[in-house]
Structure 1
């Protein structure tokens, strides 16, 4: 199979979506398939991109063009030809439109349709969650839901809730892919002994409404008091501290008396995240109840589990569908600082048992969320489209 990914994301530091693409691509290559990236925004391929002959990278972005309008106009002018060039190197079985801009989506659909190529899309959040703010964002959402979503031949969804949403929106074929982990790259971390310091790691958004970082800080402060003097609890927090949400998190940490215990690393390049998490005994993702959580399955949850560290999370959205408390993760009710604090204390107090939970969490990733496993679902979707198209 030959898949062309038309993308407006940057690699490797383009966030969770970029990480999914890289993992899925690795899985497709391992299964003997080809992937061609057409980059609309990033001018140069990521470092090491030429190492796999099954994966090719082509940029149609103009070097040095940072204006949002300029790079979009360049992409619109060059997109049709770039898809034609990809098709010239061998039959293209599907195009994955990894863009959100309505004009770029329309251009991708038209270029692929002109060549009889099926078009796929990803649905990783409810459209109203990721739309731009203001009236223009509402218009963009409606264009996507009414015009583009029903026009895709197939959609890759991250959760059962979004699969149902896609079906209600007129999508005929979907493939449910939760987390996607390149297990050849994301190997288990070396076991970490617990001596006198219990270190909790968090990597992601510092927006409380998204991933509950303030809940974690408050629970950690309570747990630290209970664990002392036997253990000193420390926090390693990776996430952008510059926006208002980041400033709120650092101020809350200071208010809670966590100075000296909590280290805020700010934005960390993707290739350095693993080294920091390796210093942590437990990884936390205390997502609160929200519209976003109800439809999602966090990409970083899969990355956490792949480390074989015990993972502490909350029972929201798709998470309870795949994970079990005490078996593959430690799970508490969302928005419950007390329950989270008790779970932290319990993990530190019985760390050998917690490590076994981490080991089983890694086993779940290998069995259900590894890149080759998820790649086969995409191949199955594309093969189903061959028989469906006239």
Structure 2
């Protein structure tokens, strides 16, 4: 099926019910029982992070309210999430895979995309490589997985999803369109509940229906996302996606060093806030964003650093996390960082879901060079002086003594 050594071939490995699998690894008595990870008390506020296949058979799904999950499956064992444990297992699986394949990108805490192009002479037939990788993960990590093999990473990912649990799905070269065409719209990465609803309003029901629509028509109806959906419906590109910058599963590099002074400084600075009640009120979200930017920029000044880029991330009510990033102007202060943060937040809020947690991350940190002010206009020097004055006031009278506009307490 993938005999030509220079033709693109990609594998996708998806760990089955990952959080539940880790819990069963640590507590074998959970095997065969319906298990729901999201909270130990199903009567409390919260949502399902992961459900075993026994619970899914009763209608339980990720993102569902715990109370609803309990009503559907009262015999389930409810467990509080253990993020650090899941992350440790994810890294262990990554190390197993990275030691056996030359090109690997981790897509999420439980998904891995692998480029096997040109590796047949070294590793063997792609179908055999994928089978061995699944066996290695199950044997050494104790977790089962589903795998997909295809000519593009996207089709391989969809194939792995169709094979769950513990399945091996191979899409022969040239049959990508036939494989995708009958699948429901939600099987395509990037099609969420709202996108599906809008597409169905246009009379589209399957990925094949979507693939038949000209890209320009989808771009006109959905903007840039429409063009992306059009390409995905046709199988996507034959190249690995870029790694998720700053994702917790990415290998941690040593902190960079300021050679001039021999000191080390962090690679990034983050601040985040979890709301007591999921929020969609713009003024509440903006106040939280202002406070986060204030705190992050103040920490940046305290370290004598500047940032090259900013990422705003939000965890929504359905527990999905999305990020938007942008570059910052040289020696940016609160005003510039906040302006960019607000633009990025606006892009995130296009999902039209309530926000559970909001965060900002300043990245690409480097020592702040004060002599650069000789070449800057007076507005830059004034902004820096204002920021330093704010820091002095807060150090003396407390953080709440002075705030930026819209940053007053709720």
TM-score bracket relative to the smaller structure: under 0.3
Greater C-alpha Rg: 2
Structure with more contact order per residue of length (Cα contacts < 8 Å, sep ≥ 6): 1
Whose helix fraction is larger, Structure 1's or Structure 2's? 1
